């Protein structure tokens, strides 16, 4: 009888600490994905449509749990979805710390979100800034090959008082920390540049050069899938008889899906 009572008490303790809906006061129930990829669905069952593909190590706040061991979680873009309990590990974050730590945690939950880049296939970035002292804009479509690597094209134009420069090419991007809200990256690539000089206000025939670029930047992942991106790169333009370097400083918005 004593052994049976002890077993019952042990089960009660496990249920209290493992079930998000009965989390301790002062604790924030969350889940961490423990499988390589876990689908998040519109309802608590495998027949429901997939909303999101969670990567290993991603963490989600929990708002509910049903009797079939499905958890209702908050996705990075603010939507709600259901994830199967065998693919996650429940845990609790103690919120009884200092006011400063609780305030910073609230700011992070309100402004920042986990990166959607590892679970995406295509990315688009629109940015503007300066290239060698002239204004520029750039469009960068990308294909994500895995969590740490993407192939990214670029096409854009730099315009100044002496004329314009059309840039185009392909880069390889290495994502250093792809899962968090801050994603730094390095890039290396090449392509071409066609310049259209102006003489006395008249645009002249274009001249094409080879171009190599190297640099990097960072993406800041905000809620609602808003991504701020900043780039710093050096371009080397060259022909058989000349070489020129220009630096890019730009920022813009990106989206991945």
> What pLDDT sits at residue 187?
97
Residue 1: the pLDDT is 45
In this prediction the pTM is 0.64
Domain range list for the chain: 2-104, 118-256
Q: What is the pLDDT of residue 22?
A: 39
DSSP 44: S
Q: What is the pLDDT of residue 139?
A: 98
Q: Which of 152, 158, 137, 142 is nearest to 209 (CA)?
A: 158
Structure tokens at 60: 């989600």
Contacts of 224 (CB under 8 A, 6+ apart): 77, 78, 113
**pLDDT computed for residue 19 by the predictor:** 42
Mention the CATH class of domain 118-256.
mainly beta
| 27-46 tens-digit pLDDT | 578 899 999 999 999 999 99
pLDDT of residue 16: 36
Q: According to CATH, what is the number of the domain 2-104?
A: 2.30.30.40
Question: Which stretches in the chain have pLDDT values below 70?
Answer: 1-27, 93-102, 104-107, 109, 201-203
Place of tokens 């090419």: 169
Query: Can you give the three-state secondary structure of 143-199, one letter per residue?
Result: EEEECCEEEEEEEEEEEECCEEEEEEEEEEEEECCCCCCEEEEEEEEEEEEEEEEEE
pLDDT for the residue 226: 85
């Amino acid at each position: 009888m004593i052994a049976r009572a002890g077993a019952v008490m042990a089960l009660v303790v496990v249920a209290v600490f493992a079930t998000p809906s009965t989390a301790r006061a002062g604790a924030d129930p969350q889940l961490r994905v423990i499988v390589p990829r876990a689908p998040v669905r519109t309802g608590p069952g495998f027949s429901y449509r997939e909303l999101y593909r969670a990567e290993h190590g991603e963490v989600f706040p929990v708002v509910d749990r049903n009797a079939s061991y499905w958890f209702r979680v908050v996705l990075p873009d603010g939507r709600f979805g259901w994830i199967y309990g065998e693919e996650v590990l429940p845990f609790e974050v103690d919120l009884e710390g200092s006011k400063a730590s609780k305030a910073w945690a609230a700011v992070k939950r309100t402004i920042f979100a986990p990166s959607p880049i590892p679970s995406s296939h295509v990315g688009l970035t629109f940015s503007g800034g300066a290239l060698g002292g002239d204004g520029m804009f750039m469009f960068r479509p990308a294909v994500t090959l895995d969590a740490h690597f993407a192939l990214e094209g670029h096409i854009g134009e730099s315009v100044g008082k002496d004329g314009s420069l059309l840039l185009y090419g392909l880069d390889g991007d290495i994502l250093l920390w792809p899962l968090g809200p801050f994603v730094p990256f390095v890039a290396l690539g090449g392509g071409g540049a066609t310049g259209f000089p102006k003489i006395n206000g008249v645009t002249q025939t274009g001249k094409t050069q080879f171009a190599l670029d190297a640099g990097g930047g960072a993406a800041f992942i905000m809620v609602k899938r808003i991504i701020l991106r900043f780039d710093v790169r050096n371009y080397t333009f060259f022909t058989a008889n000349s070489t020129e370097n220009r630096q890019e400083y730009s920022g813009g918005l990106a989206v991945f899906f």
